[in-house]
Amino acid sequence: MATIAEQSTELRLATFRLARRIRAQKADQALSDAQFAVLGELYRHGSQTLTQLAERERVSAPSMNRTVNHLEEAGYLVRTLDDVDRRKTNITLSDAGRDVVKATLSKRDAWLTTRLRELSKEDRATLARAAELMGGLATQ
């Protein structure tokens, strides 16, 4: 029987391997994980300033600026002056950005659904329970 420390290592490694396989499913293979994370953040939470994005992604403002510049050049987002405070710039997904996020999420879900169909009903139930437990761990 594995110790808790050994189980922890096995769970961490399996989680990272699965996450890597899921992240590889992208509508635009040229996007880095960090770039897609910014698109996903804007998709989930709407328009934000550069500072807000940097804080949410836990990177420096200059680093986020480089990422945003690249995504803007690719046509995935737009910058607009804030209606209230003209010193602020809001960053918003473009239609192309929204489309690439939706297509990527769909591709990832399809990949995982295909893998889950290969498992027994019991194994799928075990993974459903594990997902609940992992979600709880992630919020602690």
Dihedrals phi, psi of 8, to nearest 5 degrees: -60, -45
Question: Is 15:23 a contact under the CB 8 Å cutoff?
Answer: no
Q: Is the pLDDT of residue 25 over 80?
A: yes
Sign of the dihedral defined by the CA atoms of residues 57, 55, 64, 28, in that order: positive
Percentage of the chain exceeding pLDDT 90: 91
3-state secondary structure of 122: helix
Task: Tell me what pLDDT residue 79 has.
Answer: 94
Give the closest residue to 93 by CA, choosing from 79, 77, 80: 77
- Token pair in block for residue 76: 């995935």
Average pLDDT over residues 87-108: 96
Percentage of the chain exceeding pLDDT 70: 100
Q: Which CATH class is domain 26-138?
A: mainly alpha
DSSP 8-state assignment for residue 27: S
Task: Tell me what pLDDT residue 91 has.
Answer: 97
Domain ranges, ordered by start, for the chain: 26-138
- Give the span between the Cα atoms of 34 and 28, in whole angstroms: 13
* Cβ-based burial of 56 (10 A; exposed 0-12, middle 13-18, buried ≥19): middle
Question: Is 9:70 a contact under the CB 8 Å cutoff?
Answer: no
Task: Tell me what pLDDT residue 87 has.
Answer: 81
pTM: 0.86
Diameter of the chain by CA atoms?
62
